[in-house]
Amino acid sequence: MPEILRTDPNIIITGTPGVGKTTTAQELALRTGLHHLDINEVVKKHNIGETSSDPDDPNVKIVDEDRLLDCIENDLEEGGQIIDWHACDLFPPSLIDLVCVIRCDNKVLYDRLKKRGYGEKKLQENLDCEIMEVLVQEAREAYDEGMVVELRSEKTGDVDANVDRIEEWVQNWKKDHGKDGLQAQEDVQKDEDDPMFLHG
């Protein structure tokens, strides 16, 4: 089966709950035309999450990762997906082009999670995750280090600045790998196949 050449990149936007990853993913989708792939919505749509047995957090879903990957495999192969989830290491590295880990100061994060109504146990678990840089380490272990970028999201304007930066990356990726880049490669190949093509 021939390799499918993606003309749009797949980007993971990940981070501890409350850091602003969904806001970032939504804004990036609006600006770039890429698709916001909200994994929580995929889990709900395909009913692939089981309710946690933790009495302190009954709303948490334990996701069947194999079924999840089956559900989104075609989307990832086509490209142009902004994957929005609190984990990243299950997505195949061969189908991922950039991993953005959104970070946040713990004081700001505490206030955000408190407003969401998080209980003390769940709140502390998420703060510990941020302090220990769990998701940053997870990303660096799963993907080439050059693909992993840390972005801060604490102040007004941080989301816009982060989206500006990712949007610029997307434009550069498309120049190298996207429609324009593939067309340029095809044109060069046609020229090289032409007996009139002059070498050197």
pLDDT, one tens digit per residue, over 36-51 is 999 999 999 999 987 6
Q: What average pLDDT is seen over the chain?
A: 86
Q: Where are the chain's structural domains?
A: 11-163+175-184
> 200 a known binding residue?
no
22 is in an annotated binding site: yes
Per the listing, tokens 């998420």 go with 126
Cα atoms in the 13 Å half-sphere on the side-chain side of 143: 26
CATH number corresponding to 11-163+175-184: 3.40.50.300
Residues 84 and 36: beta-carbon distance below 8 Å? yes
Known binding residue 190? Answer is no
Is 20 among the annotated ligand-binding positions? Answer: yes
Asked if residue 23 belongs to a known ligand binding site, the reply is yes
Q: Does 31 belong to an annotated binding site? A: no
Is pLDDT of 3 > 70?
A: no
The pLDDT score that the predictor gives to residue 200 is 35
Give per-residue pLDDT as tens, 104-157: 999 999 999 999 999 999 999 999 999 999 999 999 999 998 999 999 999 989
C-alpha closest to that of 21 among 143, 128, 166, 147: 166
Residue 126, pLDDT score: 95
